[in-house]
Every structure is written in C-alpha cells, then in structure tokens.
Amino acid sequence: MTSTRRRPGPRGRAVLLVLPALVPVVAVVGAALTSAALLSLGLAPLVGEPRLSLDAYRDAAGDLGTGIGLSLGIAAAATFVATVVGLCLALAATAAVRRSRLLGALAALTIPIPHLVGAAAMGLLLADAGFLARLLGVDPSSWPPLVGGPLWAAVVAEYAWKESAFVALVVAGVLSSRAASYGETAALLGAGRWARLRHVTLPLAAPALGGAAAVSFVYTLGSYEVAALLGRAHPEPLPVLAYRLFTSIDLAARPQAAAVALTTAGLALVVVLLSLRALRRLAAER
C-alpha cells in the first residue's frame, strides 16, 4: 500500500514525463506500419478472405522498380545541389570578413515557406511561358520542358531551393559558434584563405553538412506534393505512385499502394542507417 503513495523517484518521474510523447508516436507509427504490412500481404483485404500472398508486391513490381530509381535519382540530384549551394550560403553568412547578414536572413525566411507553395512558385518561374522565359526572351516553343519534362528539372529545382536554405542554416549554426576562433588561430599561424577553408572550415562543417544532407535526402524521398505538381504523369516517383494506387477506384490496387508505401519506408530507413554509420565514421576519424 505504501508503495502506491510514495512519490516516484527521478527515474520514475523521467519515465512519466516521456510517456505522453512516446505513447502516441509508438501507437501511430506502429499501427500505421502494421496495418500497411497486413494490407500489402493480403492479410487485411477490404473484400474477401485474408490470405498470405506477395501478389501486391508482384503486381506492383514493374512500377516499383522504376519508382525506386526515379525517387532515388530526384533525391540525389536535389540533395547534391542543396548541399553545394547551402554550404556556399553558410560560408558567406559566417565569413570573418564581409559577412553577409542579408544572405543569412534570406535563407532563414525561406525555411517557413511550405514546399507546396515553393512548387507553385517554381511552376510560375520555370514553365514554358513562365517568368524566366520572359526575362530571357525565349519563345515557349524553344523553351526546354523544365516543368513536366523528362529530366524532372523543376521538381529537383524546388527541393534544391528549399533544402539549400535548410542546409545553410544548420551549417551556419555550427560555423558561427566554432569556426571564428580556429580560423583566427590558423591565420595567425600563416594559413592562407584556401588552406583555412580546406583544413579548418570544411572539417568543422562536415558533420553538420552530412547530417543536413541526409535529412534533405530522406525528406525528398518521401515527399509527395512537389513531384505531383511539377512532374509528369509517367513514370511516377514512389509517393506519387502510392497515392494514385491508393485513391484508385479499383479496390484491388490498395494492397499495391501499401506495398509501395512500405518499400518507401524501408528505403528511407536504409538511408538513415547508412548515413548514421557514415556520420559516426566521420566523427571517429577525428
């Protein structure tokens, strides 16, 4: 009886504090993944008897294959551009001489813009009668198909644009707190501009840069609306494919949609684990 009246100790209190957040996350993520797995394996059909089968995966295999390649390609291209531009932004925003407050502020203001709005803006900018074509004076007939074209240029551009601001903010946060003193020491010891960049600034920025790149990659991989708005009807990246299958009037397509969703989730998980390993190795090299 006394044990129920006693106040919980520090460990007990910590557990009580963490549970209100932990329970909904475990419930939602666990239930969503389980439900998708059962649906994709034929164990929770909307009509008919439950029967374990890999039919959904087999039926979706062709689209799934092209979707995986396309999604990985878009995410890789966008992350590459975002990382390079984001690093340049961070360097300019934290430079010891002629620091650009403007670039830091512009990057910060880009963060809260919803990706969907970014997609709408890229459409108005890059379409064949868009703002850029007008600025450059190019006729719509000779303008490259950036929106809805075979290279997914507008989709990649939108993700690269938004994520470059994210990368810039993360890297600038690390550099502003640590780079100045190291850079000054290196300069006093006679290191030139490039030597400081290569041997001081870049190694300091590398873990944050790698982490931000991994977050951007995983986000782009699982994001639906930009590719849906600025992409083409065929072939489809994984989120667009899953959405089409899920909202199809053909109920038999639902298990295939779940199969695509689980494949995307698995792919994202593999990327996260690989980047965690790479980041740990980077930290161990010091």
Partner 1 sequence: MTAVRAVRAASRTGRTLLALWLVLPLVPLLLWAFADRWTFPAVLPQEWGTRGAEEALAAGAGGAFLTSTLLGAVVALLATPLGAMAGRALASRQVPAGTAVLAVLLSPLALPPFAVALGLDVLLLRLGVPAVGGVVVLLVVAALPYTTLTMRAAYAAHDRGFEDEARVLGATRWQTVRSVQLPLVAPALAGAAFLAFLVGWSDYIVTVLVGGGRLTTLPLLVASAASATGSDAQVAILSLTSILPPVALLLVVGSLGRRRR
Residues 55-94 that bind partner 1 (CB under 8 A): 85, 88-89, 92
Task: Considering the complex, state which of residue 62 and residue 114 has its C-beta at the smaller distance from partner 1.
Answer: 114
Task: For the CB of residue 24, give the shortest distance to partner 1 in the complex, in Å.
Answer: 6
Choosing from 131, 151, 195, 199, the residue that interacts with partner 1 (CB under 8 A) is 131
Helix or strand (DSSP H, E) at 37: helix 10-40
Work out whether 261 is an interface residue with partner 1 (CB under 8 A): yes
Residue 191 carries which side chain, given as an amino acid letter?
A
Tokens of 244: 């089409």
Task: For the CB of residue 108, give the shortest distance to partner 1 in the complex, in Å.
Answer: 7
* C-alpha torsion 34→38→39→45, nearest 10: -130
Work out whether 264 is an interface residue with partner 1 (CB under 8 A): yes
Residues 188-247 that bind partner 1 (CB under 8 A): 193, 215, 218, 221-225, 229, 238-239, 242-243, 246
Determine how many CB atoms are found less than 10 A away from the CB of residue 67: 22
| Contact status, residue 271 vs residue 221, Cβ threshold 8 Å | yes
C-alpha closest to that of 195 among 210, 177, 182, 208:
182
Task: Considering the complex, state which of residue 11 and residue 286 has its C-beta at the smaller distance from partner 1.
Answer: 11
> In the chain, how long is the greatest CA-to-CA distance?
84
**One character per residue 140-159, x = contact with partner 1 (rule: CB under 8 A):** x-----------------x-
